[in-house]
Amino acid sequence: MSLPANSPGTSAAATTPKAIIGVSLKMYFGYQRSVDYCRHVAAIALTHPAVQSGYIELFVLPTLPVLPEAARILGAAGASAGAQDIFWEDEGAFTGEVGGRTVAELGGRYAEVGHAERRRIFGEDDRIIGLKTAAAYRNGLTPVLCVGELQQGSVEEAIAQCTAEIDGALNRAQSLAPAGRTIVAYEPQWAIGAPEPATPEYISAVITGLDAHLRDLPGQADSRVIYGGSAGPGLITKLDSAVAGLFLGRFAHDPKAVKTILDEAAARVGLLTGAGAGA
């Protein structure tokens, strides 16, 4: 496994990511299993040239009590950790909530907002999601803003629904805090937990529209759109280059699958050469 000969070096800080791979563990793993998982992923990241060079941006969102240890383990390997949710205020009388300031103090670099489960189970709407996005910006966190249509329809309908969700969140967020880089995770709700993801053609068409819309918004030129919703090994090789990467769930519970996806993401944009790609 090797990077192209004209690789500009191995400094992640000096490299613009060409692919983004994120994993949310939801509440599937307990504390020790989450820590062990992060150790396995860190070991993979530490020996993966595309991660070490900064070409692939890799992050894991564990359950919150694991965050400090996850941030330490992953950070030492060139990857990062974050939270699956944050509250919209940084401090105060909000029993049981955790603010973005605390997430940042714990070593988190990302904050997931607007996941379909939060919308459905906890009734979060565009106003709340916008407030949480602002809290992420305010505390130097990259929001992972989840959007996605409820029912499968046309590409045009999906783009219309998702751009409305993006605008609803970012318009409110940017009225409260300076805009920052955003990762939008396109997760059609009908594909979450399904045996198969949406078709590659559908994903590529929708994300092409969302990517153009997102990066035309004020302060969002460096933002990108990734795909989630039953994503796993083999998918990224079939997607258009407008799809910056994947937001993984249960199909990444085996760290070997993460290794495969990292190889596929690197090979797709020509970052791996020789027999190592996909090994």
- Interatomic CA distance for residues 228 and 248, integer angstroms: 6
**Catalytically annotated residues:** 115, 187
Please report where in the chains the tokens 């997430």 appear, as a residue.
103
Q: DSSP secondary structure string, 64-102?
A: GGGHHHHHHHHHTTT-EEEES--BSSSSSS-TT--BHHH
Q: Please, what is the Cα angle at 70 between 99 and 219, to 5 degrees?
A: 50
The C-alpha atoms of residue 99 and residue 254 are separated, in whole angstroms, by 30
Alpha carbons within 13 A on the beta-carbon side of 30:
1
Structure tokens at 114: 């607007």
- What is the sign of the dihedral through the CA atoms of 212, 218, 221 and 224? negative
Residues 6+ apart with CB under 8 A from 154: none
